[in-house]
Chains A and B, each alone.
Chain A
Amino acid sequence: MKSLNAMGLAYGHAVAAKRRTVRFGLLVLGVCVVFSGHITEFSFSKFVENIGAFSSYIDRISHLENGHWVVSDPVEWFWGWKKWLALMAETLLMAYVGTLLGALGALLLCFFASKNMTASTWTVFATKRLLEFSRTVPEIVFALIFVVAFSLGPLPGILALAIHTTGALGKLFAEVVENIDMKPVEGVIATGGSWVHKVRFAVLPQVASNFASYALLRFEINVRGAAVLGFVGAGGIGQTLLEVIRKFYYADVSALLVLIIATVMLIDTVTEKIRHRLLGEQISS
């Protein structure tokens, strides 16, 4: 009986301790929230007052100039489809070229960022920090800088995407490389293979499908990113979107948004299919 009581008491203490931690956490969080609300000029009344403006904005972008619902007249709605599709294609191409360049950069750097392929801890450390820097700074910040250096157009956008992609993929690639089976590497070393041989015949066969899968995922993210790079003048459909939003061409806003969302979803589905096949191959082989 006594032990049961003791157990009950201990359980009660454990629960109480947990409750105290949770309460303390909630208190800290609450203070942070109130403070943040103050800093960010968060105002519920302003939100309620203006929520009508949001619904009326949605209402306005879903109606044409002549007051009809956009869906009733798709030809009028997508009046600029030739121009817009060309811009969308440019955006996709930017994302593609940027992803490919970035993936190549990541492929080069990832071996220097993984402990099992590079002996020098300094090289590993430096490469890791370099990759971290290029993925922590948002791509649009790079784009802002590159637009000044390379002048307006898709080129600064592509370079910004490429650098960010190198940072993001380099980290993932390095993690994959650090988790490989080292036996093939030892085999290549034992037969007198060079560093290049090691990478080509021992590492790449193990990691290629994972690399491709990650690169495809990045492509998908970069399509989204490329669509807004135009906001800072770095090419793609973003510039036109910014223009129509700022100039209140309501029907065009919705048309461009629909175009972007549909394209992103399409790319999502296609890359997901390919990725499943890539990873499936890896499992079966």
Chain B
Amino acid sequence: MSKREELRQRFSTEFQPFYQGRLRAFAVALAAVALFAYGLVSLDITFSRIANGLGELLRMVTLMFPPDPGTWTRTGIYLYAMLETVCIALLGTLIAATLAFPLGFLAARNTTVNRAVQFFARRSFDTLRGVDILIWALIWINVVGLGPFAGVLALSMSDLGVFGKLFSEAIEAADEKPVEGILSTGGTSVASVRFGILPQLMPVLLSQVLYAFESNTRSASIIGIVGAGGIGSILSEQIRTVEFQQMSFVILLIWATVSLIDIACARLRFSIIGARAL
């Protein structure tokens, strides 16, 4: 028997024609492409529209350069709006974290009071997360009026859902042994949470909060589009008044701020939890 024949016998699956055993993968790919094509047709996406739009976009982008805030007064306005955005993100994140901290214990399997409460807490978090931040902003604007305060509340609402889920998962992942140790030495269940779970939990929670702060700065920079404070209102106004140079300045400002916060948070996270969770 030749070498090739021997190999063919030993690795029969590798030598079979490439389509065998892959019919399902092909079917899935075909369905995906078909759905994509259907989407293009039903959403009325034509080549000419894309080509025209790209031309228009190119014209807009050339108008955006160089980024220029205009006058110094305007620079001040943009910087203040950016500061407001960061403040919204900070407060929103903190409020959400403070509320989510006790609620997270209710939603965790090992610390909850009973199953019904846990189920209810989990579903509430899901619902809070399911509503987008822009929708929350619209709802809170109806309640406290236009302005950054509505933004803070909107941010803390949607973040509460995120933190609640993350915190309760972190609590469930905590090691049970310290808890058992404290209970066996006669500690109360409160003491078991305070000395058994909290020390394990705090670094994880802090790192999650810091991580969320960065993405919240990004969210806070868009809620102004519906009128809930921050730099988003300036952005949507510039689009309407076709001030492209200033708009590109604002976009760069957002980008720089988010990157800066990202770096700062990464540093803080690193110093709090060390290298292991990064």
- Partner-B contacts on A (CB < 8 A): 29, 32-33, 35-37, 39-43, 46-47, 50-51, 53-54, 57, 90, 93-94, 96-97, 100, 132-133, 136-138, 140-141, 144-146, 148-151, 153-156, 158, 224-225, 227-228, 231-232, 235, 241-242, 245-246, 257, 260-261, 264-265
Contact between A148 and B60 (Cβ–Cβ < 8 Å)? yes
Q: A36-B86, A137-B251, A145-B247 are in contact. List 20 more A-B contacts (CB 8 A).
A: A32-B90, A40-B84, A40-B87, A42-B152, A53-B144, A94-B43, A96-B36, A97-B43, A100-B36, A144-B225, A144-B239, A145-B239, A150-B50, A151-B49, A232-B225, A245-B135, A261-B131, A264-B130, A265-B126, A265-B130
| Size class of the contact patch on chain B | 35 or more
Q: Which residue of A54, A138, A154, A156 has the most chain B CB atoms within 10 A of its CB atom?
A: A138
* Partner among A57, A94, A138 whose Cβ is within 8 Å of the Cβ of B143: A57
Tell me the complex Cα distance, A155–B127, Å. 29
The winner among B52, B140, B149, B236 for most chain A CB atoms within 10 A is B149
In whole Å, how far is A278's beta carbon from the nearest beta carbon of chain B? 11
Binding site for A on B (CB under 8 A): 32, 35-36, 38-40, 42-45, 49-50, 52-54, 56-57, 60, 83-84, 86-88, 90-91, 94, 126-127, 130-132, 134-135, 138-140, 142-144, 147-149, 151-153, 218-219, 221-222, 225-226, 229, 235-236, 239, 247, 251, 254-255, 258-259
| Selected contact of A145 from candidates B40, B44, B60, B218, CB within 8 Å | B60
- Distance A141 CA – B87 CA, assembled complex (angstroms): 20
Which residues in A have their C-beta under 8 angstroms from that of B251? Answer: 137, 141
Contact between B235 and A33 (Cβ–Cβ < 8 Å)?
A: no
| C-alpha spacing A46/B153, complex, angstroms | 12
Bound Cα distance from A47 to B56, whole angstroms: 45
A residues in contact with B39, CB < 8 Å:
93-94, 96-97
Q: Is the CB of B149 within 8 A of A43?
A: yes
The answer to whether B254 touches A137 (Cβ under 8 A) is yes
Q: Is the CB of A93 within 8 A of B43?
A: yes
Residues in chain A near residue B88, CB distance under 8 A? 36, 40
State the CA gap A187–B221 with chains docked (Å): 48
Contacts of B229 in A (CB 8 A): 40
A-B contact pairs, 27 of them (CB 8 A): A33-B90, A33-B91, A40-B149, A40-B151, A40-B152, A42-B149, A46-B149, A47-B149, A93-B35, A93-B39, A94-B43, A96-B39, A97-B45, A100-B36, A136-B255, A136-B258, A137-B255, A140-B225, A141-B251, A141-B254, A150-B52, A150-B57, A155-B53, A227-B132, A241-B135, A242-B226, A245-B142
Are A46 and B144 touching (Cβ within 8 A)? Answer: yes
The answer to whether B218 touches A136 (Cβ under 8 A) is yes
Contact of B221 among A41, A138, A144, A149 (CB under 8 A): A138
A225 to B130, CA, bound (A): 11
Partner of B91, one of A40, A154, A261: A40
A185 CB → nearest B CB, Å: 19
Main secondary structure of the interface of B (DSSP, over half): helix
Whole-angstrom distance between the Cβ of A106 and the nearest chain B Cβ: 16
Evaluate contact between A33 and B149: CB separation under 8 angstroms: no
| CB–CB A150/B43 < 8 A | no
Partner of A33, one of B43, B44, B94: B94
Chain B, residue nearest A132 (CB): B259
- Residue numbers in B under 8 Å from A50 (CB-CB): 143-144
Bound Cα distance from A241 to B136, whole angstroms? 12
Chain A nearest Cβ from B40, distance in angstroms? 7
| Chain B neighbourhood of A145, CB < 8 A | 57, 60, 239, 247
Instruction: Let me know if A228 and B56 touch, CB within 8 A.
Output: no
Chain B residue nearest to A52 (CB atoms) is B143
How far, in Å, is B166 (CB) from chain A's closest CB? 15
Q: A47-B144, A150-B49 are in contact. Are A158 and B43 (CB under 8 A)?
A: yes
